[in-house]
Amino acid sequence: KSIQEALAQETFDYKNIKLNVTYIDGNKKTINLDESMMTKYEAKKFTYIGSQTINFEYKGVKSSFYITLPTPKGGLNSFELEASEIEEAYKEEEFKHEYLALKLNYKSGEVGYVPIASSMLSSLDLAKLYIEGTQTVQVKYAGLTKEFTVNVPQNKYFELNSIKDRKEGEMVVVRAYSTDYSSKAIYLYSGDFLSYATSISAVDGEKVGLKLGQEVILAGTKTTDKDGVVYLKNITFIAATENKDELVSKVITSNDLSDSLYKVVSLKDAVVKSLPEKLNCYADCSFEVESNGIVYKIGIPKDTDDKLTQKLFITISELVVGHELVLENLFVNKLSDGTFVLS
């Protein structure tokens, strides 16, 4: 009710919105919303037209509500991205493209604002907003198209190994290094953290220029798979830079792999102890090796149509118990039964 009353005022002020607070002891109190309860970005949403979700916090308790701010009358005449808006958005320690807002100029003379959404930009222009330098981006909104120059003061992408701390389902732009790619995934690392990216069937790894240690910038959705591995899904953009990195993997000598979970490791002086029971991915797709008196299980990617997997099958079919192996760039994974497997 207080939201509607605040909207009905001649001049809207979110501080007129009232909150009904119930305390643990049962006491109740009505207070006014204020800037101390929100981030600067949440408070900025009150200047946007259309429906917005406002997130706030009071005395450690988080909550949210919906509000719809009216659209000015008359058709849209033009839109612009103000220099002051750009400067202010990039002052934030963690930049998101939604922090940038378009100023909408209506034929009635009224003005409105709307946050930049990924749907307004091509995947390339979206990535540009996170990469240091003077960038030219094209924005499309309500049937109109306009180019803007954006000075990105410093790189605003996340490192791959930091996406563990992002919200599930959050769209992120990250910097990573490639190890290999298949028809369905690109395998990536950052430091000693290994992950992968999917939903990139339209991306040709050779055309993009992916090589071992190649730096890439890509945009996707932070997702966690059934085994608890954090990866990027629904990749909308990927580009290889001219920079390279040398992958250094840790040599493991212990049977306790908990500290190496989802990291890049290597095995030296390994000897084949057992072979896969069947060379298909619908049965036992693993074999065992022994290194320093410890037995490790080596998993095989589970996709019979995948070129990388087929290449591995050919190699694995030639294995013999007792063969000595050097295994590099392995990925430590934990299965649902609690056992560890190296992929």
Helix (H, G, I), strand (E, B) or coil at 20: strand
Chunked mean pLDDT (size 10), the chain, 343 residues:
84 91 93 93 91 92 91 90 91 86 93 90 82 93 95 91 86 84 77 77 53 82 83 82 78 83 83 76 69 87 54 69 86 78 83
Residue 16 CB partners (closer than 8 Å, separation 6+)? 2, 5, 6, 9, 32
Q: How much is the pLDDT for 283?
A: 44
d(CA 126, CA 97): 8
The region, left, alpha or beta by phi > 0 then psi within -120 to 50, assigned to residue 130 is: alpha
Q: How much is the pLDDT for 202?
A: 42
Closest CA to 117 of 141, 90, 145: 141
Q: How much is the pLDDT for 186?
A: 82
d(CA 115, CA 107): 20
Q: Which residue type occupies 150? A: V
Q: How much is the pLDDT for 57?
A: 94
* pTM score, whole prediction: 0.64
By CB atoms closer than 10 A (0-12, 13-18, 19+), residue 25 is exposed
d(CA 343, CA 335): 12
Helix (H, G, I), strand (E, B) or coil at 92: coil
Q: How much is the pLDDT for 90?
A: 93
Q: How much is the pLDDT for 127?
A: 78
Bridge partners of 295?
290
* Cβ contact 250:238 at 8 Å: no
Q: How much is the pLDDT for 115?
A: 93
Q: How much is the pLDDT for 65?
A: 92
Q: How much is the pLDDT for 258?
A: 82
Strand 158-159 relative to strand 171-181, pairing = parallel
Q: How much is the pLDDT for 48?
A: 93
Q: How much is the pLDDT for 230?
A: 87
